[in-house]
Amino acid sequence: MTKMLDYPEPETLAEALTLLAHYGGRAMFIAGGTDVIPRLKKKQICPEALISLNRVAGLGGIDLNGDLRIGAGTTHRAIEKSVLIRERFSALTDAVDVLGSVQIRNVGTIGGNICTAAPSADTAPPLLVLGAQARAVSLKGERMIPLETFFQGPGKSILTPEEIVAEFLIPAPLPCSASAYWKHQRRLALDLPILGVAVQLTLDKRTCPLPGNLNDEGSWPAIWQALAQERPVCREVKIALGVAAPVPMRARKAEALLQGQVLTPELLAEAARIASVEAQPRDSVRGEAWYRKEMVKVFVKRMVLKCMERIACGETPAVELPGKA
């Protein structure tokens, strides 16, 4: 870090918010620091103080009480190790499994990932499809913010300068549901996504186990043949894309096509095509817009199938790493 900074360490949320107000916009919160410190070093931000959240009570914890509650200060590593989240909210585990590196995950927090509001935030598409809400707290009170409205632009959230996110609340999934997230990246770690695709799917029943390897499109005809007998109906589906627009987005037209329908390969392909039309990616160092749109088509199909595989198993195997097939 470069210039002289204050580093206050409040112990309650109220203290932290009071400090924030005291600095009048010239201070920033820091938890893990994996986004804040690099930006500070690159002089992209110049606060007078970094207000540490690491001693603030009540920002941690993962608990299930009907709904899932994840404290905003929960590290990605803690989420990675949570059996509860891996089994029932798997898209989020998929995301933290491939986020950064072990070193980053040991200190980086889900609150930081979401509040930094990069279009590439790996935990954003999963939280979107899981129907998450953020509980934002200020000295004047609190409010629940659905993740759909949270992101306002690259690096911009709907939070006012007086607010902080204390926790995320995720509704318990319906029976015969599963979720999955794919981070399309060139490296196996330490890379931002070229594209992120998350899906949460609810079927009308649990189907037979899917034969074949989902990563090998050659085995898909066999998979679909097995499913054709059972005619699984999509009760509900949510599809979210990262790095496909200025903010993490839902592909609502694609969702509408699938809702209430028997899932067939033709329908899924059409939904994936519609999602790629809905996406508005840009050219960047990691990939060009046309390529991202093509990959939306590929990974929407794969993640819906992944969800179907997970529903069929009743438990969730890990999303396989690429490049081995």
The residue within the footprint of other proteins, chosen from 6, 11, 283, 315 (CB under 8 A), is 6
1 binds other proteins (CB under 8 A): yes
Applying CB under 8 A, which part among 3-11, 110-118, 134-142, 221-229 lies near other proteins?
3-11
The sign of the dihedral angle between the CA atoms of 93, 99, 101, 102 is negative
Tell me, residue by residue from 145 to 174, as one string, x for binding to other proteins by CB under 8 A and - for no binding: ------------------------------
DSSP secondary structure of 72-95: TT-BHHHHHH-HHHHHHSHHHHHH
Decide whether 188 or 208 has the Cβ nearer to other proteins: 188
37 binds other proteins (CB under 8 A): yes
Decide whether 2 or 65 has the Cβ nearer to other proteins: 2
Of 217, 177, 215, 184, nearest to 199 (Cα)?
Answer: 177
Decide whether 200 or 316 has the Cβ nearer to other proteins: 316
Tell me, residue by residue from 7 to 36, as one string, x for binding to other proteins by CB under 8 A and - for no binding: x-x--------------------x--xx--
Of 157, 304, 182, nearest to 243 (Cα)?
Answer: 182
Whole-Å CA distances, 80 to 65, 98, 110, 193: 20, 10, 11, 18
109 binds other proteins (CB under 8 A): no
DSSP secondary structure of 18-35: HHHHHTTTSEEEESS-TT
Our separate counts of H helices and E strands in the chain read 13, 13
Of 303, 277, 107, nearest to 196 (Cα)?
Answer: 303
* Span 261-320, contacts to other proteins by CB under 8 A: none
Chain residues in the site for other proteins (CB under 8 A): 1-7, 9, 30, 33-34, 37-38, 41-42, 50, 52, 54, 77, 100-104, 106-107, 188-190, 321
